[in-house]
Structure 1
């Protein structure tokens, strides 16, 4: 059953070495494994995993393809900006912006950026229950 299975993100890259460098230098991530020079596998300390794979079709999705759930979005945005990550600001109905950080009623806050391959990634902080 799928409900008992793990799910992972697959992130496309047209240049795998460029993507490896971006994920290492900008996001502080190191692959845990490489498969045939075509796939980089990552695992976070939070217990999740994703893959970056080589394809000619990278960067074509016009939507978020992966996001990291963080405890302090301001600190994450600050740290990523210090490493040269540029954040995106989108015109979305019902969203309030404070600089690069969007607030969405009942959903929390988020900030979006593109990786070296043009993929849209996100860091978000959920609204605290209570």
Structure 2
């Protein structure tokens, strides 16, 4: 297959495309395009993902998208001022501090949900390229 594949992309379902467009574009500041009745969300670094409406949507309770930022506390503070609520995960190994940031063991993360309940994260390091030693 790898000899014949020309590209790859991820996708996820949502309840409402208009709410999704507003959230990803206006709240997160990402470029969003309508294509074939779906939304293409352009991600930092050049990749993209597709959101599509589904009447049977079930929110992903796992992280579907990690967005790397250079200064996590500043970004979390800015988004919180704009009304974004961060997950707390109290009483779990992923419990966050009062700012909504997980700062224990490893890279820092801050999780939140989109309007359809899908879990996203902000992180300060790209785990695909970071040596964990």
Query: Scaled by the length of structure 2, what TM-score is found?
Result: 0.78
Alignment of 1:1-130 (within 5 A): 1=2, 7-31=8-32, 33-36=33-36, 38-90=37-89, 91-93=91-93, 95=94, 97-99=96-98, 100-105=100-105, 107-126=106-125
- Paired residues, number: 125
**CA RMSD after TM alignment:** 2.5
Quickly say closer, same or farther: Cα 1:122–1:57, change in 2 above 3 A: farther
Equivalent-residue separation in structure 2 for 1:22 and 1:122 (angstroms)? 14
Question: Which blocks of at least 5 consecutive residues in structure 1 are unaligned?
Answer: none
Structure 1 or 2: more strand by fraction: 1
Contact 2:63 2:119 in 1 (8 A): yes
Equivalent-residue separation in structure 1 for 2:48 and 2:24 (angstroms)? 14
Contact 1:9 1:66 in 2 (8 A): no
Structure 1 ranges of 4+ moved more than 6 A: 127-130
Equivalent-residue separation in structure 1 for 2:120 and 2:40 (angstroms)? 17
Question: Which blocks of at least 5 consecutive residues in structure 2 are unaligned?
Answer: none
